[in-house]
Amino acid sequence: MASPLIRALRDKYPEAHIAWLAQAEAVPLLAVNPRLDEVIVWPRGEWQRLWRERRYWQLLKAVRSFRRALRARGFDLVLDIQGLMKSGLLAWMSGAPERVGLGSREGSARLMTRVVDKPRGDKRIGSEYRRMAEALGLNTEPFAMDLALSVGDQRFADGFIAEHGLSSGYAVICPFTTRPQKHWIEARWPELAARLREETGLPVVMLGGPGDREAAARIAAGKADIVDAVGQTSLSQAAALI
């Protein structure tokens, strides 16, 4: 949801080197964006593995190596749009003289040179990122998601649409997240899919990851108008379908 910041930053700073730091899972959504000069992968999985294996010295060396690599880039400005301690530490590790946090919490505000408060009362999705853009003097009109698709992902979407007869349009539901405690009541999804079909006349495509297949099968049971694509796409292919 923070991707509108990419275009807003590029519009204001056309000659700047703009990098985005992300976990490996999110890289496919950023890798081919022409408005980014670089996508930096945070090796979180490696660090977690070293911690679990109690290889603390190797972990320390890995963290120091990553910090050196960040500082070697000579960033002037870093935005911490997650506002957590882990993201704040990464921003601090960059060595950038200006570090702006968005609603910084968990003590991460101490690692920032400036904190932008999240908006109150604005129910628009992504309103906090718009608030960050406004605080930085960036253009917020339009403020649309900026996801670039690879040729391969677009071809996948075109093939999927043709295979399932969706050329006249379709609705997408994504019932799953990486945190089960955030899931909506499972029994409500078939009801929502039926209502979408009834009110819009559109077939419904359901997306999710491989670990969601069992729950997806329950949701799709008895609903022939749900196209169950759960576990059949990569993250970037799912983005292409959306």
Give every CB contact of residue 118 below 8 A, 6+ residues apart in sequence: 83, 102, 103, 127, 128, 131
Q: Is residue 236 part of a domain?
A: yes
Phi and psi at 12, nearest 5°, equal -80, -35
Tell me what pLDDT residue 124 has: 77
- 184: which DSSP letter? P
- Check pLDDT > 80 for residue 132: yes
Task: Return the H-helix or E-strand segment holding 190.
Answer: helix 188-200
Residues 129 and 166 in one domain: no
Neighbour count for residue 236 (Cβ, 10 Å)? 23
Burial of 214 (0-12, 13-18, 19+ CB in 10 A): exposed
Quick one: tokens of 15?
Answer: 């000659």
191: domain CATH number is: 3.40.50.2000
Q: Is residue 11 part of a domain?
A: yes
Neighbour count for residue 151 (Cβ, 10 Å)? 8
Tell me what pLDDT residue 223 has: 63
Place of tokens 């000579």: 74
Neighbour count for residue 45 (Cβ, 10 Å)? 12
pLDDT above 70 as % of the chain: 99
Give every CB contact of residue 192 below 8 A, 6+ residues apart in sequence: 173
Least confident among 47-56, 82-91, 172-181: 172-181
Confidence of residue 34 (pLDDT cuts 50, 70, 90): very high
Burial of 91 (0-12, 13-18, 19+ CB in 10 A): buried
Mean pLDDT value of segment 60-88: 97
Query: What domain range is 34 assigned to?
Result: 4-135
Residues 111 and 168 in one domain: no
Q: Is residue 106 part of a domain?
A: yes
Q: Is residue 144 part of a domain?
A: no
